[in-house]
Amino acid sequence: MTETPFYCFIGNSFGIPYETINAPLRMHRVCPLGYANAKEDPCHKITADEAKKMMEEGGVTVVDVRTAEEYEQKHIPGAILVPNESIKEGQPEALPDLDAVLLIHCRTGVRSKQASDKLASLGYRHIYDFGGIVDWPYETESGAAN
């Protein structure tokens, strides 16, 4: 099977020498934050319906990456609060298992994408971004995070 070359135009922000920026790269997939040579991209975009089905099947961790104030107003029952702004260089204390299946959401989908990328860069392997709670047609509740 012949692989089609991909072209990389990401600049030098990831430490790629300038002379290779426009060179064809052989890779299976491109994942943000340096997963160009990964056989499987840990980041997956899914719908609210798919997320709900996964929740019903069990074995997932629902992660709300909005602020504590937003979470308190309305959140998905059982969701863990891990604000996007708190995800930095170290593994979040609330997410100890790198192999856990994480269902990530925010308000509209922007922060969930950012958080998914950051979690992938920290080594999490099963990240499912289902966008924003504004598109969540299922049950929600109010109250502070535990």
Nearest to 127 by CA among 135, 119, 136: 119
Cβ proximity of 86 and 92 under 8 Å: yes
Catalytic residue, chosen from 8, 31, 43, 106, is: 106
Assigned token pair, 43: 């980041």
Residue with tokens 């609330």: 94
Alpha-carbon distance 19 to 27, whole Å?
Answer: 18
Active site residue 106: yes
Could you list the active site residues? 106
